[in-house]
Amino acid sequence: MSTMYSYVLLLLLLFLAPTLQKNRDFYTFKVINIRGKLVSLEKYRGTVTLVVNVASQCGYTDGHYKALQKLQRDLGPYHFNVLGFPCNQFGHQEPNSEREIDSFVKKSYGVTFPLFSKIAVTGTGANAAFKYLTESFGTEPDWNFWKYLVGPDGKVVNAWGPTVSVEEVKPHVVDLVRKLILKRKEEL
């Protein structure tokens, strides 16, 4: 009887797997925030999101954090959010603890956008949400400050490496936010 049950279960999984896969998007994942609490990314559904793997000791740190905070201040939090994911995979440029990272970015850059726990963004140990981003866009981060633009539906719209400034990305973000606002007005 248990063999038959296993067989039926396997068949169900084979039929349901493609359906479950189709319904997956960035906002279906759960992550740990910088303070150690589990957060469902579902809370960001319906907004435009710029997901960035950040580092405190990178040559791109100063320019990116300043510009990301300005973008958050100018566009967020009702229609837009920057989500920062510290990562120590590239040049070991994020060696600090979550508490130290949080303190550093608040004191140095006045960061108000959400930060999450330090994660791996590439390889076999990569965080599942980042795996989704890289698989969706087809490009894996190869350094700090990769930026993934995620639409209100949780689908990846675009991605840029660290040599592309936040200022260059901003028109893409603004366009998506504008479309979101217009869509919401039409629904009223």
- The catalytic residues are 58
Task: Name the 3-class secondary structure at 41.
Answer: helix
Q: What are the E-state strand segments in the chain? A: 30-32, 38-40, 48-54, 80-86, 147-150, 156-160
Question: Is-contact 112 69, C-beta < 8 A?
Answer: yes
Task: Name the 3-class secondary structure at 159.
Answer: strand
Residue with tokens 């039929």: 15
CB proximity list for 183: less than 8 A, separation 6 or greater? none
| Long-range CB contacts for residues 36-45, cutoff 8 Å, separation at least 24 | 36/98, 36/117, 39/114, 39/116, 41/83, 41/129, 44/81, 44/83, 45/152, 45/153, 45/154
